[in-house]
Structure 1
């Protein structure tokens, strides 16, 4: 009997978590069920239960997994050396969010909206998803310090304030795109450049 590889198990787990996301996108958190997840997965009931024991466990794993994956994509953009100008980085970040969220079976941005709502009433989900957001905000703060040292930000700017605003911009972009669907990464970059004190949109992508 052939050995089941780690890669095979990881692929099956991802298949199950993708089914959770698709089910949440289609039916909402309240309407999502294990039956719906199993049907969308294309796997047997026993196989799905091997990876998640309940809808709640599946939602937590699906949300956290997507967030971890996105964070891994965004990390190199904020640790580049040299670090591009703020407006360029905002364009890169929003463009990466936009591309990462694309999936043929669901909208990851709409799934994220459901996840944010659920985290407010689920301590387990909040405990799992809040730390990556805090870590990412720390990266934004480090970027702000770098920009400040290079003269890209005012000397009296508080890097913590800049980081908080940038995180709000990115989360707001995700919400606006999920709800309205009529904004873009390039638009966010241009708008951010225009808002910079004494800046221009010349550095936007």
Structure 2
């Protein structure tokens, strides 16, 4: 009997988690069911239950897995040496968010909105995803420290304040695109660059 490889198991797990995201996007968090997840996965009931024991576990794993994947793609732009100017990095980050969110079976941005809502009433989900957001905010803070040292920020700028504002910008972009669907990473980048140039001095934050 052929050996089941780790790659095969990982692919099946991702197939199940993609079905969770597609079901949440289609039916909403409350409307999503294990039956719907199984239907969208294209796998047998037994196979799906090998990877998730129920909807709640599936939602937690699907949300956290997507956030892990997105963070992994964002980190290189925040740890580059030398680190580009803030407006360049924001352009890179929003572009990654926009590209990463594209999927043929669901909108990852809409799924994220459901996940944020669910985290407010699910301690388990909140405990799983909040540390990921804090870790990413810490990376933004490290970038702000580098920008301050490079003269890209005002001498009195607080890196923690900058990190909090940038995280809000990225999460706000995700929410705006999910709800309105009429913005883009390029528009966000142009607007941020315009704010940085307020008063005719680029990098005035």
**Partner of residue 195, structure 1:** 195
Q: Secondary structure at the match of 1:134?
A: helix
Is the CA contact 1:148–1:154 (under 8 Å) kept in the aligned structure 2? yes
Alignment of 1:62 onto 2:57: no
Residue 125 of structure 1 and its aligned partner are, at CA, apart by 0.1
Kindly tell me the number of residue pairs found equivalent between the two proteins: 203
Classify 1:7/1:13 alpha carbon distance in 2 versus 1 (closer, same or farther; 3 Å).
same
**Partner of residue 179, structure 1:** 179
**Partner of residue 52, structure 1:** 52
Q: TM-score, normalised by structure 2?
A: 0.96
Residue 200 of structure 1 and its aligned partner are, at CA, apart by 6.2
Alignment of 1:110 onto 2:110: yes
Q: TM-score, normalised by structure 1?
A: 0.96
Structure 1 residue runs of 4 or more that deviate by more than 2 Å after TM superposition: 197-203
CA distance in 1, matches of 2:40, 2:90: 35
CA distance in 2, matches of 1:198, 1:154: 13
Structure 1 unaligned regions, length at least 5: none
Structure 1, residues 134-161: CA drift from partner, whole Å, max 9, x if none?
Answer: 0000000000011111110000000000
**Partner of residue 119, structure 1:** 119
Is the CA contact 1:119–1:125 (under 8 Å) kept in the aligned structure 2? yes
**Partner of residue 42, structure 1:** 42
Pairing of 1:152-171 with structure 2 (within 5 A): 152-171=152-171
Is the CA contact 1:33–1:55 (under 8 Å) kept in the aligned structure 2? yes
CA distance in 2, matches of 1:108, 1:19: 12
**Partner of residue 145, structure 2:** 145
Classify 1:4/1:130 alpha carbon distance in 2 versus 1 (closer, same or farther; 3 Å).
same
CA distance in 2, matches of 1:201, 1:152: 11
Residue 198 of structure 1 and its aligned partner are, at CA, apart by 4.7
Aligned-CA RMSD value:
1.5
